[in-house]
Amino acid sequence: MTDPGQRLRSSLTDQSASTVEFDSPIAMEALRATRVLHAADQEPFPAPGRIRVITIANQKGGVGKTTSSVNLGVALALYGLRTLVVDLDPQGNTSTALGVDHSVGTPSVYDALVGDSSLAEVVHPTTATPLLSCVPATIDLAGAEIELVSVVAREYRLRRAIETHLQELPPEQRPHYVLIDCPPSLGLLTLNALVAGDEVLIPIQCEYYALEGLGQLLNNIDLVRRHLNPGIAVRTILLTMYDGRTRLADQVAEEVRNHFGSLVLDAVIPRNVRVSEAPGYGQSVVTYDPGSRGSTSYVEAARELAQRGVALPPLPSRPTPGAPVGAPVGAASPHRSAATVPVPPSPEETP
């Protein structure tokens, strides 16, 4: 077969097409890019055993929380899993990277947290892929930490909004994954995200001081588990911004693996300039430069996340994810489910 385009196309369905035929770096990158771009022709990622609500948290700034929320979300959706990304950071970087408007006045997560809006009213489609939706954050959210203080059941606001949304959606529109991007603090917004989630994904940057402050985050998660959300657990650690040229990156990665063992994904996200360029174009790196190492690493991390999710048992408090893959994460059905959402009472509500 001599036509390079035809070789590339036929390799899409043949995962074993490898370095033998595509023996130059550019050809390999083209092959990787084509595979990501034509994800629909590839084997979809397996659906999780239950709807996974994953809180992406680390109070340290700039470790890759937003980049991971965006790119894992896009990768999961490209490979057939309905995904909802909730931007819980007033900076609104997740919304930007997903091409979702977050100017003042846009219906946003603030309206669901502090106001009376349902999540369905503030979910927006994304430009990245039809199976991916986003609840954007506007700058209003910056005031929410203070405004929430006087709100009844303030720690449960996001949990209730998500639970109600999942119950009300028809099964074929329920997301398989809900990813919540946290701000770099341990305030009331992050607390809401930890109470709303079933599991935590912690991105750890392969840099000096990477583990600093992690103890505080783990203590907080422990406190939330004991007092507010017994189901929460750290289930995934993702190593980000790995720079293979430095010994430091290897040392940090090894230390994290020694400490967290199998929680750490095998896939490691390299430091890659395309990753940092993508948000400037309102895109994820997976759509901006699908063949880049940043993109393929995020696709691999998402694949691993999805594979690990298959064996998770259903939760009694959650509806099951809808079987058919393909329908976008839609707005709420007008039909309200009679099922109640069992959320523990807030301290304010208990006598």
Q: CA distances (Å), 191 to each of 78, 131, 188, 224, 289, in order?
A: 30, 28, 5, 8, 34
Q: How many residues form the binding site for Mg ion (CB under 5 A)? A: 3
- Residue ranges in 233-252 that form contacts with ligand ATP under rule CB under 6 A: 240-241
The set of residues, in sequence order, having a beta carbon less than 8 Å from that of 159 and lying 6+ positions away, is 192, 195, 196, 229, 343
- List the x/- string, 92-131, binding to ligand ATP by CB under 6 A: -x--------------------------------------
Among 6, 276, 333, 340, binds ligand ATP (CB under 6 A): 276
Which residue, 155, 185, 154, 167, is CA-closest to 119?
A: 167
**CA geometry: angle 80, 82, 88, nearest 5 deg:** 135
Taking the C-alpha atoms of residue 86 and residue 83, their distance in angstroms, rounded to an integer, is 10
- Residue ranges in 70-109 that form contacts with Mg ion under rule CB under 5 A: 89
Q: Does 8 bind ligand ATP (CB under 6 A)?
A: no
Token pair of 73 as six digits = 């979300």
Min dist CB 274 to ligand ATP, Å, is 8
Q: Does 67 bind ligand ATP (CB under 6 A)?
A: yes
Q: Does 65 bind Mg ion (CB under 5 A)?
A: yes
Q: Does 65 bind ligand ATP (CB under 6 A)?
A: yes
Q: Does 126 bind Mg ion (CB under 5 A)?
A: no
Q: Which stretch in 65-73, 159-167, 234-242, 245-253 sits in contact with Mg ion by CB under 5 A?
A: 65-73
Min dist CB 172 to ligand ATP, Å, is 32
Q: Does 61 bind ligand ATP (CB under 6 A)?
A: yes
Min dist CB 287 to ligand ATP, Å, is 15
Beta bridge partners of 266: none
Token pair of 229 as six digits = 């959300």
Q: Determine what percent of the chain falls in helix, strand and coil, rounding each to the nearest 5.
A: 45, 10, 45
DSSP 151-203: STTGGGHHHHHHHHHHHHS-GGGS-SEEEEEPPSS-SHHHHHHHHH-SEEEEE
From the list Mg ion, ligand ATP, none, partner contacted by residue 62 (C-beta under 5 to 8 A by kind): ligand ATP
Min dist CB 177 to ligand ATP, Å, is 18
- List the x/- string, 165-184, binding to ligand ATP by CB under 6 A: -------------------x
Taking the C-alpha atoms of residue 168 and residue 348, their distance in angstroms, rounded to an integer, is 26
Min dist CB 186 to ligand ATP, Å, is 12
The set of residues, in sequence order, having a beta carbon less than 8 Å from that of 263 and lying 6+ positions away, is 234, 235, 236, 237
Contact between residue 119 and residue 157 where contact means Cβ atoms under 8 Å apart? no
Q: Does 280 bind ligand ATP (CB under 6 A)?
A: no
Q: Which stretch in 102-110, 143-151, 272-280, 300-308 sits in contact with ligand ATP by CB under 6 A?
A: 272-280
Residue (279 or 290) nearer to ligand ATP, CB: 279
Min dist CB 87 to ligand ATP, Å, is 10
Min dist CB 70 to ligand ATP, Å, is 8
Query: Which residue bears the tokens 């430095």?
Result: 246
Among 64, 99, 175, 197, binds ligand ATP (CB under 6 A): 64
Residues engaged in binding Mg ion (CB under 5 A) = 65-66, 89
